[in-house]
Structure 1
Amino acid sequence: MTEGATRKPVLLVLASTYPRWRGDHEPGFVHELSRRLVERFQVIVLCPHAPGADRREWLDGVEVIRFRYAPSRLETLVNDGGIAVNLRRSKWKALLVPLFLVAQLAVLVSVLARRRVDAIHAHWIIPQGLLACVAKVLTRSRAPLLVTSHGADVFALQGRLFDIARRFVLRRVNAATVVSGALLRAVTSQATGVGVVEVIPMGVDLQERFTASSLVERDASLILFVGRLVEKKGVIHLIRAMSAIHRMRPGTRLEIVGFGPEELALKVVVRELGLQGAVTFTGPAAPDTLPAAYRRAGVFVAPFVEAAAGDQEGLGLVVVEALGCGCPVVVGNVRAVADTLGPYFDAVAVDATDEEGLAHRIIAVIAAGPVAQQALAASVIDRFDWRVIANRYSALLLRLVHDRRDAEH
C-alpha cells in the first residue's frame, strides 16, 4: 500500500473566532468540529492571535497557528463580540481590518506554499472564504475549498460590495455549507447562480456534556440567559420583561451568563427598573460550567431579535444546549431558530420585542415544566449531536479530496 493511500489528508481550517486557550469562554464551535475531524484528517487551524494566547500550539490533536496582525495589546478586532460588533463599538478598529486581512493572507499563502494541503475549510464567506480564493490563485493550489457561513458574514455585512464579494467566493468554491435554512435562503437570494449550498449546522455534545441529570433539582424561580451581550441577543427585552414577571410571579430571578459591549447599558436599565435584587450578571463562563447552569434553571430564555443593522442569530445552538440538559426554553421568533426547532418552534417562540408577551410566555413555560418539552428535546439530539455533524462534514471533505485526486489521474 502506498504512502498516499495510508496517510491522512491534510485539512487547513481558516477561522476568525477560535478559543485562545483551553477553557476559553470565546465561542469554540470551530475547534469542536476540528478536533472531531482529527480521526480522519491531519488538521491545521489558522486563526488570529490575541493577547495571552500562544502563537502556535496543539489542542486536542489540532495544530493551531495564530497569526499576528498588530502589536499584542491592539489585537482586539475579533474577541469579545466578534469583528462586526467590535467595529460598531470602536470605530478606530477599522484601522485593524486591512492589517488583519493582509496578515491572514500572508500566513495562508505561506502555509499553502510550504506544506501539503489536501483540502481547505474556510469558516465564514467573508473574510476567510475570500482570502482562501485569493491565496489559491497566488499559490496555484489545487486543494478543494469548502466554505461555511455562520450568519454574521451574511446578515451583518449588508450592501452591494458585500454581495459582490459573496458571489465571487461562492462561484469559486468546490462546496458551500450554511448552518441553517434561514441562511440558505439568504445566501441563495443574494448570490444567484452559485453552485449547490448544503445546510449542515454546527453541533452540540449531547452525549457527554449537555445532558439531563436527575440528581439536580430544578429551580422554577430561576430564569437563565447565556450568550454574548449584543443587540441581536435581545437581552434588553428580557430585562424589561422582568418587571411584568415580578408582578405576576414574585421572587423570580434572572441570571445573565455572558459578556459583551452592551453590559454596562444593560446594568443601567436594571438599576432604572429597580431590579437589582432580581437580575444578576455573572460574567462569562467556561464551557464546562454551562451544563450545571442549564440543569438548575427553571427556564432558559433566548430572546433573539433582528438588530437595527440587520444582523440576527444564524443558528442558536445555546437553545440546543439547554434542551440537551432538560431545561425548558423560550426563544425569540427569528428565522434561524425556527429551522433549529422545527415543528415545535411556535410553541416556544415569541416576538421578544413584545415584552409583555415575552413575560407571559416565560411564565407559561415555567408552569408547564420540563415534561411539556420532552418531545422537543428528543428531536434535537439526532440532528445536532456532534457525532452526527462531524460525520457529515468529514464525508463532505473526504469526497472533495477524492474527487480532486480522481481528476488528477
Structure 2
Amino acid sequence: MLASTYPRWKDDHEPSFVHELARRLVHWFEVIVVCPHAAGAARREMLDGVQVERYRYAPAAWETLVNNGGITTNLRSSPWKWWLVPSFIAAQWLLARRLLKPRAIVHAHWLLTPGLVASGLGMPFVVTSHGADLFALRGSLAMGLKRRVVRRCRGFTVVSQAMLPPARNLDDSIAPVVAPMGVDLQHVFTPDPRIPREPDRLLFVGRLVEKKGLDVLLEALPDVLAMRPGTRLTVVGFGPLEKDLRAQCARLGLEGVVTFAGAMPSASLAMYYRSAAAFVAPFRPASSGDQEGLGLVLVEALGCGCPVVASDLPAVRDVLTDMPGVFPVKVADSKALVEGVLAALDSSAAKVIEGRQRLVDRFDWEAVAKRYAGILMAASDGGSADV
C-alpha cells in the first residue's frame, strides 16, 4: 500500500483512514505500507499488524511536504516545497521496489504521487482517489500524469458518486468504481445516552484549510448569537489557516464564543460528537478547485447521534441523502447557514438514531474492508475491479 498521508505514530492526529483500511486488510493479505517519514516517526514499525516502512526524502527539518494540511495545501502556501517533490516520488519508488514480493498487488492512495509511483513499479495496482488529487491540480502536466496512472491501473476507485464524472474524464478505457473509506460505527462512533448533549454547543471538526469553510461558519455566528445568545462553538482541528481564523474571530467579537481545541486523534472525537447539540460542516470549493471528496466526519457525527448541518455539495449527498437529522444548506452562504444551524439546534438528536443502520451498511469498516479486499483480489487476478 502506497500513501502520502499516514499516521506518524499510534493515535496521531493526522488522517488515519488509510491505516484503518490497511489494518483490516491483514485478514486477507500481508500488508506493507510505504509512506513518507516525518520528524518523530519510526523508520520501520509494526502498527496493528501492518508493516509500516517510512522513507526519507529530505533532511529531517525539511520533511514537511505532507503533514499539517496535506501536500496540495503545503505546496500552495510554501512554493519552495516543490523542490521536495522529485525526491519524495523517487524515494517512495525505490523503497516500494525493494519491498515488492512475488504475486504482490499494489494499492496506491491518491493519483499523485503514490499513483504515479505505482504506475512505474511494473506490478498490477489499484489506485484510489480521495478528492483533492482529482479536483485540484488541473494543469496540463498534472492532468497528463493522472491520465497515465489511470491508463496503467487494473482498478480505479473513488470515494463518492460526485467524483465519478471527473474520474471518467481522465480515461474512458477503465470504469471507476465508487468505494468509500469507512468509519468504525460498531465500536468507536456510537451513541451514548448517558452523555447529555450541551444545549447550543456547535461542533466543527476538520483541517483548517479553505475547502472546510470554517470562515463561513464564523461569519454566520453573530447572527446565530442574536437569536441564541448562549451558542458556543468548539473547533477541533489544525491547519495553516488557524492564525487567520483566530483573527476573524477577534474581528467579529467572538472571543469567549469560539474555542480552538486543537488537533485530536480520531478515537477521541466521539466524546465531542456525543455532547454537541449540532455538528456543522460548511464545506465549499477552494480557489484551487479542491473540494471535499466525501466528508467522513459527517458519518462520524451521525454515527454518534449528532444532528448535522452541512453544505449541499454533490460529494456529501452520498452521506446526507435520506438521512434523518440532517440539514443541508446552500454552499458558502452564511445566511443559509444561520437558518440551518438554528433549525438543527431546535431539532431532536433522537431522530438521527433512526437512520443509523443505513450508515452501518454503507460505511462501517467491516463492510468497506471486505469490499476493498474483493477489489484488490480481482485486480491481482487480472479481473475487473467492480466486484
Flag whether TM exceeds 0.5 (same fold).
yes
Is the 8 Å Cα contact of residues 222 and 254 (structure 1) preserved in structure 2? yes
Number of matched pairs: 383
Matches within 5 A, 1:260-299: 260-299=239-278
Judge which range, 86-95 or 385-394, deviates more.
86-95
Distance in structure 2 (CA, Å) of the matches to 1:377 and 1:275: 34
- Cα deviations by residue, 1:267-323 (Å, 9 ceiling, x for unpaired): 001001111010010100122210000000000001000111110000100000000
Matches within 5 A, 1:184-333: 184-189=164-169, 191-333=170-312
Distance in structure 2 (CA, Å) of the matches to 1:225 and 1:380: 20
4+ residue runs of structure 1 moved beyond 6 angstroms? none
Judge which range, 75-84 or 95-104, deviates more.
95-104
Matches within 5 A, 1:95-106: 95-106=83-94
Matches within 5 A, 1:147-158: 147-158=127-138
User: What is the deviation of 1:117?
Assistant: 4.7
Distance in structure 2 (CA, Å) of the matches to 1:134 and 1:340: 35
User: What amino acid maps onto 1:127 in structure 2?
Assistant: T
Is the 8 Å Cα contact of residues 238 and 352 (structure 1) preserved in structure 2? no
Do residues 400 (structure 1) and 386 (structure 2) align?
A: no
Distance in structure 2 (CA, Å) of the matches to 1:345 and 1:261: 34
- Of 89, 105, 112, the residue aligned with 1:119 is 105
Distance in structure 1 (CA, Å) of the matches to 2:215 and 2:79: 23
User: What amino acid maps onto 1:256 in structure 2?
Assistant: V
Structure-2 residue corresponding to 1:71? 59
Structure-1 residue corresponding to 2:369? 390
Matches within 5 A, 1:47-196: 47-112=35-100, 115-136=101-122, 143-189=123-169, 191-196=170-175
User: What amino acid maps onto 1:233 in structure 2?
Assistant: K
Of all paired residues, the percent bearing the same amino acid is: 49
Judge which range, 167-176 or 318-327, deviates more.
167-176
Check 1:131–1:358 CA distance in 2 against 1; reply closer, same or farther (3 A cut): same
User: What amino acid maps onto 1:80 in structure 2?
Assistant: N
SS of structure 2 residue aligned to 1:306: coil
User: What amino acid maps onto 1:134 in structure 2?
Assistant: G
Is the 8 Å Cα contact of residues 242 and 359 (structure 1) preserved in structure 2? yes
Distance in structure 2 (CA, Å) of the matches to 1:258 and 1:134: 35
- Structure 2 residue runs of 5 or longer lacking an equivalent are none
Distance in structure 2 (CA, Å) of the matches to 1:347 and 1:117: 45
User: What amino acid maps onto 2:159 in structure 1?
Assistant: V
- Cα deviations by residue, 1:305-350 (Å, 9 ceiling, x for unpaired): 0111110000100000000000000001211101222234996211
Matches within 5 A, 1:362-377: 362-377=341-356
Is the 8 Å Cα contact of residues 167 and 194 (structure 1) preserved in structure 2? no
Structure-1 residue corresponding to 2:18? 30
SS of structure 1 residue aligned to 2:321: helix
User: What is the deviation of 1:116?
Assistant: 3.1
Q: Taking structure 2 as the reference length, what is the TM-score of the superposition? A: 0.96
Q: Cα RMSD between the aligned structures?
A: 1.5
User: What is the deviation of 1:22?
Assistant: 0.2
User: What is the deviation of 1:159?
Assistant: 2.0
Q: Taking structure 1 as the reference length, what is the TM-score of the superposition? A: 0.91
SS of structure 2 residue aligned to 1:88: helix
User: What is the deviation of 1:352?
Assistant: 4.0
- Cα deviations by residue, 1:343-376 (Å, 9 ceiling, x for unpaired): 3499621124211210111110110121333344
- Cα deviations by residue, 1:205-240 (Å, 9 ceiling, x for unpaired): 000000000110011210000010000000001111
Is the 8 Å Cα contact of residues 325 and 349 (structure 2) preserved in structure 1? no
User: What amino acid maps onto 1:133 in structure 2?
Assistant: S
Is the 8 Å Cα contact of residues 19 and 26 (structure 1) preserved in structure 2? yes
Distance in structure 1 (CA, Å) of the matches to 2:147 and 2:34: 24
Judge which range, 349-358 or 282-291, deviates more.
349-358
Is the 8 Å Cα contact of residues 229 and 262 (structure 1) preserved in structure 2? yes
Is the 8 Å Cα contact of residues 220 and 299 (structure 1) preserved in structure 2? no
Distance in structure 2 (CA, Å) of the matches to 1:41 and 1:192: 29
User: What amino acid maps onto 2:239 in structure 1?
Assistant: G
Distance in structure 1 (CA, Å) of the matches to 2:173 and 2:142: 15
Distance in structure 2 (CA, Å) of the matches to 1:197 and 1:221: 42
User: What is the deviation of 1:110?
Assistant: 2.1
Distance in structure 1 (CA, Å) of the matches to 2:18 and 2:80: 28
- Cα deviations by residue, 1:25-78 (Å, 9 ceiling, x for unpaired): 000000000000101100000000000000000000000000000011110000
Task: Pick the structure with greater CA Rg.
Answer: 1
Is the 8 Å Cα contact of residues 305 and 352 (structure 1) preserved in structure 2? yes
Check 1:178–1:124 CA distance in 2 against 1; reply closer, same or farther (3 A cut): same
Structure-2 residue corresponding to 1:359? 338
SS of structure 2 residue aligned to 1:161: helix
Distance in structure 1 (CA, Å) of the matches to 2:338 and 2:33: 43
Judge which range, 330-339 or 232-241, deviates more.
330-339
- Structure 1 residue runs of 5 or longer lacking an equivalent are 1-12, 137-142, 405-409
